[in-house]
A and B are shown apart, each in its own frame.
Chain A
Amino acid sequence: MARSSSLLYLDGVSVSFDGFKALNELSLTIGPGEMRAIIGPNGAGKTTMMDVITGKTRPDSGEVFFNGTVDLTGEDEASIAELGIGRKFQKPTVFESHTVWDNLELALKAPRGPFATLFHVISGAEKKRIEYLLELIRLGGKRGELAANLSHGQKQWLEIGMLLAQDPKLLLVDEPAAGMTDAETAETAELLKDIANDHSVVVVEHDMVFVRSLGVKVTVLHEGSVLAEGSLDHVSANDRVVEVYLGR
């Protein structure tokens, strides 16, 4: 896919830490409205890739473009988030001493400067949006609860809700089903599919059942570069992928 028609475009991205190549000439393109699953064994570079896209880590070489025109390597985390890239961490990270409601309010798309927030008064539209999200992530009854008191799965959902509140163009979701029960995992897959209707989503996941239930194009990473790409059946038929996964 050409850079100009892509939403996210990585070309030849390399990152090394103390000589260890976390990403090695990684190239990847995500189209507008696409949902993509990224799998790979431990140390394949999945989280580093997310770090590069969200501005936490600067690549040593290579290009990262958003919307075909914006060079992400020159931006910091806050401005990348403002551009419309939201990220959910592997370990659920919510603001524990805030209520569920406040967590969503903080994430809601609104001016981010100190003076804007100082005089901010919550509007009816914002309340409606929060209500809608509470319904969506099924935490309506827990709105007044401190986030610290939520279960692991609920925190994961709250974080997805916060991601949606930002109204990003692209969602990066790192292991959304980690630590969830089977029922929760299935619900999460449904939720993500819903979200994918009007957002681009990149999901990093270990759980093959989960990836299968998403039913989308899969990219396999290994040692910092792309090993295979295609439908799940296609990549699991690939000998190299089997070898990497089973360690033969």
Chain B
Amino acid sequence: MMTSFLFRAMDTRAGIFLAIMAAVIILVPAGNLLAPEGSAFHVPNYAVTLMGKYLTYALLALAVDLVWGYCGILSLGHAAFFALGGYAMGMYLMRQIGTRGVYGDPNLPDFMVFLNWQELPWYWYGFDMFWFAALMVLLVPGFLAFVFGWFAFRSRVTGVYLSIITQALTYALLLAFFRNDMGFGGNNGLTDFKDILGFDIQADTTRAGLFAASGVALVLCFIVCRALTRSKLGKVLVAVRDAESRTRFLGYRVEHYKLFVWTLSAMMAGIAGALYVPQVGIINPGEFAPANSIEVVIWVAVGGRGTLVGAVLGAVLVNFAKTWFTGALPDIWLFALGGLFVFVTLFLPKGIVGTVSQGWTALRQRKVSAAYEEGSDEPPSAPPHSPGAPANVTHSKRAPGAAEPQPAE
């Protein structure tokens, strides 16, 4: 059962993506560690960290694409799950500092000593152990998403209303984490990390390892998403996206489906956050900022929603552009981002990958029907498969408004 589940994940497009990822995961660390400095193949340290960061963003975008592109849940608060995963990892890294902090307290992180706290709060217990922190990276975002989703989906909150609530969720967390007495370092957050699993966090090899770990996490989550969206469950999700009440009348419990992908997606976002924090060396409440979540939606829209590969591509491209712009023309970046979103909405509503695959499908269909007309070919008789049912891809004649989010009933 499991093998057929995973087997379903594979096709040409997934194969190309995985081949590229494998090359990146091997070549970038190799270019950093093995190629001598000054060689044309040398990858500088800063670039490894930067690309590692892109990969964690790509994983976050993948998580958003799963709920938005396939199930029609437009989340404007996914950075909250990302940041929670990041905080869980940050707490582990804080406990690893031990006596090397400024105040040299073996148990308390510096900011707690500074606030005159006498002992570790209960919710910090266990974070000195990696396995516990890793579990929390999954469970904390997953639990929050489950509770949130349970109430929201059961009350049939959909469309913009749901988007607004997700935005409120991340904003509420932002305000909460800003408070010093929350015990998460307030405004400054968690930083000054020393090592992870016993390895020096500044060392080249550790950074290369974190890069590879981000790449592997992205690949694994991609395979899971791919297998999921190509299963019958994936078809139900697209059905929910396109005609929610019809799906209910077929006997599917829409709220269970939404809750399932929503929680899964939040956990993936948590993993992304956990890999992000050791690479950038800090986590603070700024990560909860509503604008961050909105930016993720832009990445997915640019790459093409409902395509998975598109989310990854969009995240990497937009962030690459961001790095370049903020270096070369720092004042223009926000305008460029806004302009990009307007451009994509107006001229590439299917995103990059969606547009390309639409052209490809049209070409292939023309070939098939031409061959059919000549009578040289049997009509296609194999049980067909929706082409991954990418969001709003491949039909020119779709009824207007069919893919619009349904207003709350």
Contact = CB atoms under 8 A, between A and B. Distances in A.
Interface residues of B, number: 42
Given A148-B399, A149-B397, A119 B1 contact: yes
Interface in B379-409: 379-380, 383-386, 389, 391-395, 397-399, 402-403
A169 B129 CA distance: 57
Nearest to A155: B399
Contacts, number: 121
B384 A118 contact: no
B395 A97 contact: yes
Most buried by B among A82, A114, A121: A114
B372 to A, nearest CB: 11
A101 B379 CA distance: 15
Given A78-B253, A81-B248, A95 B233 contact: no
A117 B383 contact: no
20 contacts: A78-B248, A81-B250, A93-B245, A95-B243, A96-B242, A96-B395, A96-B402, A97-B238, A97-B386, A97-B391, A97-B392, A102-B386, A106-B239, A114-B233, A118-B232, A120-B232, A120-B233, A144-B380, A146-B394, A166-B251
9 smallest A-B Cβ distances: which pairs?
A: A81-B251, A144-B384, A77-B248, A120-B232, A117-B233, A117-B232, A118-B233, A148-B398, A114-B260
Interface of A: 54, 56, 76-79, 81-82, 86-87, 89, 93-99, 101-102, 105-107, 112-114, 117-122, 127, 130, 141, 143-144, 146, 148-149, 162, 166
Most buried by A among B253, B385, B399, B403: B253
Contacts of B232: 105-106, 117-118, 120, 122
Main secondary structure of the interface of B (DSSP, over half): loop
Contacts of B5: 118-119
Contacts of B260: 114
Contact of A97 (B253, B254, B384, B389): B389
A114 B264 CA distance: 12
B246 A93 contact: yes
A127 B245 CA distance: 26
A146 B243 contact: no
